[in-house]
Amino acid sequence: MIAIGYSNVRQNFKNYCDKTTKDFETIIITRERGDNVVMLSESAYNNLLENLYVRSDPAYYNELLKSINQLKMGKGLKKELLDE
């Protein structure tokens, strides 16, 4: 995570856009009067929204955690996909 001033970001906007997309860096754009802004890649943003959605349903999230623990304990089943 990088914190950088608004003026610097404005002068080097392409550079910071590349950092967010190519290096998966989160940029905190600081402003003189507060009200900072966060810049992140679209894929990071989509991932964040997906995680929020999954965690918003406690029953689904608990089922997911239960399944992950079962896999870690070697209790997963391997199944073949059928071609139709």
Percentage of residues of the chain with pLDDT beyond 70 = 100
- Judged against a pLDDT cut of 90, whether residue 79 lies above it is answered with no
Under 8 Å CB-to-CB from 38, ≥6 apart: which residues? 26, 27, 28, 29
Distance CA 77, CA 70 (A): 10
Its pTM stands at 0.68
| Position 78 confidence tier, pLDDT thresholds 50, 70, 90 | confident
Average pLDDT, the chain: 93
HEC assignment per residue over 21-34:
HHCCCCEEEECCCC
Under 8 Å CB-to-CB from 26, ≥6 apart: which residues? 1, 2, 20, 38, 39, 40, 44
